[in-house]
Amino acid sequence: MSKKWYRPGSYAKRTFFCDRDHLGEDILLSVGTSIRAIGNGRIVWYGPARGYGELVVVIEHDLGRKRTFVNAYGGKVTTRTILSIYRHLRCSRRRGGAALPWRRGQTVRKGQVIGYINDRNHNGDGSEHLHMAVRLCSAAQARRVDPHAWFRGYESRTTFGRQYASARAVIQQLSDPAPTSQPGER
């Protein structure tokens, strides 16, 4: 993800866990802007979702080893698997144009285009923007504890913020060229 355009809170001042509720970071972008995978992974959702418009993309990433992240409550969560969640997209740069070929179960590489910013009439929530989130678990774990809204965007009277981290912080941590090992890790 390009740091040039990744400015959390640039849309409606909605940053990670603002109002102790928002489980993502909203980024103001123009219609048709390419959205790229933050890392290698497997697509576990590629389709519409109520409130999020025509296309939500969820990618499960195996990090290769356990990593520790800070959740919405300031607690530490150690996991080998994360979900990157991209909302308010569509599958073609222009409405009615050639659609991307992605579907559930396919593997994506870091930097591959997975969708495009949708227009305000079709994105499910306000003006043109990306709602980017990171859930600190696998898709199977998320579905087990949160079966009806496992890629949710808001906490809504739950404590699921314990499983979410700032997308900006996660991206920055994963791009660290020399991560340190945790005690007992190989």
Tell me the domains of the chain and their CATH numbers: 18-174 (2.70.70.10)
Could you read off the pLDDT of 71-99 as tens digits, one per residue?
A: 999 999 999 999 999 999 999 999 999 99
d(CA 6, CA 26): 9
Between 17 and 70, where is the model more confident? Answer: 70
* Mean pLDDT score of the chain: 88
Using CA atoms, how far residue 93 sits from 20, 23, 66, 100, 171, in Å, is: 34, 26, 36, 9, 24
Amino acid residing at 3: K
pTM of the model: 0.89
* Range with lowest mean pLDDT among 12-26, 102-116, 132-146, 147-161: 12-26
d(CA 156, CA 119): 26
Between 1 and 61, where is the model more confident? Answer: 61
177 pLDDT higher than 80: no
- Closest-CA residue to 54 (of 123, 151, 115, 140): 123
13 pLDDT higher than 70: no
pLDDT band at 51 (very low <50, low <70, confident <90, very high): confident
Side-chain half-sphere of 85: how many Cα atoms within 13 Å? 29
pLDDT band at 111 (very low <50, low <70, confident <90, very high): very high
* 8 A C-beta contact, residue 58 and residue 139: yes
Could you read off the pLDDT of 112-143 as tens digits, one per residue?
A: 999 999 998 887 777 898 999 999 999 999 99
